[in-house]
Amino acid sequence: MRDDIQEVLVSEEEVQNKVAELGAELTEEYEGRFPLVIGVLKGCLPFMGDLIQKMDTHLEFDMMDVSSYGHAFVSSGEVKIEKDLNTSVEGRDVLIVEDIIDSGLTLKYLVNLLEYRKANSVRIVTLLDKPEGRSVDIAADKAGFIIPDKFVVGYGLDYIEKYRNLPYIGVLKPEIYQSE
C-alpha cells in the first residue's frame, strides 16, 4: 500500500504532535462543559479516535454519516444523511470533528442542521483545511494543517475506500488513478 504514495504531505509524527496540541487546547476550552463531540464518518475515525484521547475532560461522542452526491473528488453540495445522531443536540456544546474541509458544503449543511436542532454552541475542528477549494463561507475554529488543493489520502481519507488506514497524509502516484 505504501508504495502507492508519491509524496508524504504530513508525516505520522507531525500528525500525532498536532493531535496532541489540539487535544490540549480543547481540554482547556471544554473543561467542565461535557461537550458532545460529533464525528463525520468515515474519514474522521482515526483523527477523532486519537483526538478524544488527548482531551482530558468528560465528553460524550456520537457519529453521523453524510454523503454528498458527486464523484470521488468533488462534492456537489447536495447532502444526504446516511446515519443520523443517536443523541439530542439541544442545549449541548457541540464539537464537529472532520478529516478535511474542501468546498465546505458538507460542513455548512451540518452546522445549519445542528443550529436548527438548538445546539448551544457549534464549533469545528478539522485535521486538514484546503482553503483554495472553498465554495461557501465557512471556516473551522481549529485546523491542524493548511494544505494545497491536491487530492490527499491517509489517516481516514480514502481513494475509493482505500488508504484510510495509512498513518500519514500523502498524495497518490498518478498511475494509481490511471489504473482504475
Rule CB under 6 A: which residues touch ligand XMP? 43, 68, 75, 99-107, 151-153, 157-158
Q: Which is nearer to ligand XMP, 57 or 176 (CB)?
A: 176
Triad 150, 135, 12: Cα angle to 5°: 35
Please answer whether residues 29 and 51 qualify as being in contact, where contact means their C-beta atoms are separated by less than 8 angstroms: no
d(CA 172, CA 135): 25
The distance of closest approach from Cβ of residue 121 to ligand XMP in the complex, given in angstroms and rounded to an integer, is: 21
Which residues, 6 or more positions from 145, have their beta carbon under 8 angstroms from its beta carbon? 9, 10, 14, 18, 127, 128, 129, 169
The distance of closest approach from Cβ of residue 84 to ligand XMP in the complex, given in angstroms and rounded to an integer, is: 17
Q: Which is nearer to ligand XMP, 75 or 119 (CB)?
A: 75
Which entry of 93, 99, 102, 129 is annotated as an active-site residue?
A: 102
Q: Which is nearer to ligand XMP, 117 or 134 (CB)?
A: 134
| Other CB atoms within 10 A of residue 179 CB | 8
Identify the H or E element spanning 113: helix 105-116
Is 4 marked active-site? no
The distance of closest approach from Cβ of residue 82 to ligand XMP in the complex, given in angstroms and rounded to an integer, is: 12
Q: Which residues are catalytic?
A: 102
